[in-house]
Amino acid sequence: MHLRILTSAVTALLLPLAAQGQEAGEEADTKKWQGEAELGALITSGNTEETNINGRVALQHEVEKWRNTAEFRSAYSETDGMTTAEKYRATAETNYKFAKRQYWFVRAFHEEDRFSGYDFQSSLTTGYGNRVWTEGKRSFLDLSVGAGYRLNRLEVPGPDGDRKDDEAIARVSGRYDQALSETALFRQTLSVEMGVDDKSTTTESETSLQANIVGALSMKAAYRVQHLSDPPANAVSTDTEISVSLLYGF
């Protein structure tokens, strides 16, 4: 079942890309590719041996009518030879810009977190978005609302003996970018997904500040929070993460 969901997500995201091929000749001069590669690491030894590594790669492709983004991030921690955190996350989103600031989005998400109480978490959503405010090229506010389907697999069967946790969901999200100067950027993202049946919610927030060091290299500090209103058995409801990393833009 979850293979069919992921297949549908890939198909939904590839259809707009195929449509873009028809626009290639007309928009050759307006194509824009942007990307970021991020890496943070902390390794200590002595009384406590600890390793923390987090990485992220993000891509964005934009033409007149379409904007496509993809992101992969991972996090790994080990203390005295024992793994204490291991997480992998991938998201992909395509936006069809049917007006100057308005767009229709399709978003696919998949995460595997060894210590979350889930084997995996995934969702496919679609809906309406609006860039309600812009200032210059780097400052803007995006808001979106949509609906879709969530499919998770529990590590331990629930009260009904089933490991599958799936339902229709509603999703609202926002992203605020503010250029503090030519070399500094503040970013705030927030999203909430709520189940239609059991009303359980997943809330995620990330606050970050990045400043250019030299050339395309920047320093980034981020604070992330994920809250589950109904977490799996033996899992906590709120995860937090503070990171400092180097970011290379291309």
So where are the chain's domains? 2-249
**245 CB neighbour count, 10 Å cutoff:** 19
Cα–Cα distance list, 29 to 33, 80, 97 (Å) = 12, 54, 18
Query: What's the confidence (pLDDT) of residue 8?
Result: 47
Mean pLDDT value of segment 171-176: 98
Choice among 80-94, 123-137, 158-172 with the minimum mean pLDDT? 158-172
Residue 63 has pLDDT above 60, yes or no: yes
Mean pLDDT value of segment 141-160: 92
Token pair 């503090």 is found at: 180
Residue 15 has pLDDT above 90, yes or no: no
Query: What's the confidence (pLDDT) of residue 31?
Result: 56
> Given pLDDT bands bounded at 50, 70 and 90, which one contains residue 29?
very low
User: Which CATH code fits 2-249?
Assistant: 2.40.160.40
- Whole-angstrom distance, CA of residue 88 vs CA of residue 118: 12
Using alpha carbons only, give the angle 134, 137, 140 rounded to the nearest 5 degrees.
30
* Eight-state DSSP code of residue 101: S
- Whole-angstrom distance, CA of residue 73 vs CA of residue 139: 24
Query: What's the confidence (pLDDT) of residue 48?
Result: 74
Q: What is the pTM of this model?
A: 0.83
The model's pLDDT over 174-214, given as tens digits with 9 standing for 90+, comes to 999 999 999 999 999 999 999 998 889 999 999 999 999 99
Residue 4 has pLDDT above 60, yes or no: no
Are the CB atoms for 36 and 58 separated by under 8 Å? yes
Residues 6 or more apart whose Cβ sits within 8 Å of residue 17: 68, 94
